[in-house]
Amino acid sequence: MTGVDEGRRPVRSHGGLPRRAVLLAGAAGLAGLAGGCATLEPAPRVPLPLAPPGTDGPPPGESRPGAAAEPTGADVVRVHHLGCGTMCPVGGRLMYGPDRAGETRRLVCHCLLLETAAHGLVLVDTGLGLRDVRQPRPRLSPFFLGLDGIQLREEETALRQVERLGFSARDVRHLVMTHLDFDHAGGIEDFPDATVHVLGAELEAARRDRQGFIGRNRYRPLQWDEGVRWRPYDVGGEPWFGFASVRDLDGLPPEILLLPLVGHTRGHCGVAVRTRAGWLLHAGDAYFHQAEMDPAAPSCPPGLRAYQRMMEVDREARLANQARLRELVRARGGEVAVFSGHDAAELAALRGERAGTAAVGSSGGAT
């Protein structure tokens, strides 16, 4: 297996921080060396391009013979790519890479808002929430507030963006979570009527297995301790594009599937969405930088590589899943658009910003 990272030893616990402590102790000095966007280039408060809300895409294609349950994408009528958080991390170019410019010189919290024909709105990850922005302490870890350079902007929260699209919190009926790290789960309580779909192993880890320094700081129970309607799932299901299994979700159409991608956390997963133009795969934090998905020569900025190693719970599984994702891109890149939860360039491309358009949503999103 060709990997971006070195080493195959599983990291099972963050009980102590011998090697990680050295990494983190030197992190502050990297800001001056590399230039983080928080100091070198303050993030501008510009209106988010939320209109027009999107287009419906081409007609659905035909299903395979004999596959009555094959998703056609007809139920997912529109996809909005939302940036629900901005981070200007310590390390600057060592984190986002030397070739980035403008709005791509930062990390984002890439979420999806799905308009469905019969199941209301579905939000894939929530980013940072209203309470995170208004009361960052104690909801968020002071360690990650500083290390990640989290920008506290109410207008970027999923709820405010949903409202600007003309909907309300009650219209969001389902939250599908890649995992429960603070920068993905902060907006759960902003949608109290929604069912929250998550792998059971992830919910268990967040509730009862917050081991060591990283575990205590990545999972923030204050973000989801008020009457959440959890729907946990076991690993299992049908094969999908070379992966062992995907799970369909209760109350949702077969166009929206949960794909286990453990390694970053114990219950980390991707979320596959079938649109009329093809598949989207939100890979969460299975990788962080688009260059990691280059099938021929994968690479990753050194600071971001170190960050992933600091956060992982199982290196072997994480690297194996990255390799599977690269193979998916190589073999089926024309059918499946793969993107991560934090790459600002991927978010800009899927929004159409590189083409100079203002559209956030599209039913394909992979052109």
| Whole-number pLDDT of residue 252 | 96
The larger pLDDT score, comparing residue 286 to residue 6, is at 286
User: pLDDT digit string (tens) for 156-201?
Assistant: 999 999 999 999 999 999 999 999 999 999 999 999 999 999 999 9
What CA–CA distance (Å, rounded) separates 254 from 257?
7
What CA–CA distance (Å, rounded) separates 204 from 164?
34
User: pLDDT digit string (tens) for 48-104?
Assistant: 333 223 333 333 333 333 333 567 777 999 999 999 999 999 998 999 888 898 889
| Whole-number pLDDT of residue 48 | 31
The larger pLDDT score, comparing residue 155 to residue 47, is at 155
The larger pLDDT score, comparing residue 270 to residue 75, is at 270
Q: How confident is the model at residue 232 (pLDDT cuts 50, 70, 90)?
A: very high
pLDDT at 27 > cutoff 60: no
Hey, what amino acid is at 37?
C
| Whole-number pLDDT of residue 38 | 39
Indicate the domain borders of the chain: 73-355
The runs of H, that is alpha helices, within the chain are 18-25, 27-34, 37-40, 93-96, 130-134, 136-139, 142-147, 158-164, 182-185, 200-208, 212-218, 302-311, 315-332, 344-351
Taking each helix axis from N to C terminus, what angle separates 18-25 and 27-34, rounded to the nearest 10 degrees?
Answer: 40
pLDDT at 30 > cutoff 70: no
User: pLDDT digit string (tens) for 316-332?
Assistant: 999 999 999 999 999 99
Strand 229-233 to 195-199 pairing: parallel
| Whole-number pLDDT of residue 102 | 87
The larger pLDDT score, comparing residue 26 to residue 90, is at 90
What residues contact 120, with CB distance under 8 A and at least 6 apart? 171, 172, 173, 174
The pLDDT of 115-131, averaged and rounded, is 97
Nearest to 145 by CA among 204, 220, 211, 95: 220
* Straight-line distance from the first to the last Cα atom of the chain, in angstroms, rounded to the nearest whole number: 29
Q: Are 175 and 188 in contact (CB under 8 A)?
A: yes
The pLDDT of 214-226, averaged and rounded, is 95
C-alpha torsion sign, points 139, 143, 146, 151: negative
Q: Tally the C-alpha atoms within 13 A of residue 163's C-alpha that lie toward its C-beta.
A: 11
In eight-state DSSP terms, residue 334 is: T
| Whole-number pLDDT of residue 37 | 58
Nearest to 79 by CA among 47, 57, 107: 57
CATH no., domain 73-355 = 3.60.15.10
What CA–CA distance (Å, rounded) separates 267 from 334?
28
| Whole-number pLDDT of residue 353 | 67
The larger pLDDT score, comparing residue 34 to residue 93, is at 93
Q: Where is mean pLDDT largest: 24-33, 39-48, 156-165, 347-356? A: 156-165
**Complete DSSP assignment for 153-187:** -GGGSHHHHHHHTT--GGGEEEEE-S---HHHHTT
User: How many CB atoms are located within 10 Å of the residue 9 CB?
Assistant: 8
Helix (H), strand (E) at residue 196: strand 195-199
pLDDT at 18 > cutoff 80: no
Long-range CB contacts for residues 7-13, cutoff 8 Å, separation at least 24: 7/315, 8/315, 8/316, 8/319, 9/315, 9/316, 10/314, 10/315, 10/316, 10/317, 11/309, 11/312, 11/313, 11/314, 11/315, 12/313, 12/314, 13/211, 13/212, 13/313
Hey, what amino acid is at 194?
A
In eight-state DSSP terms, residue 62 is: P
The pLDDT of 298-315, averaged and rounded, is 97
Q: Are 167 and 123 in contact (CB under 8 A)?
A: no
| Whole-number pLDDT of residue 346 | 97
pTM, two decimals, is 0.82
Name the average pLDDT for the chain: 82
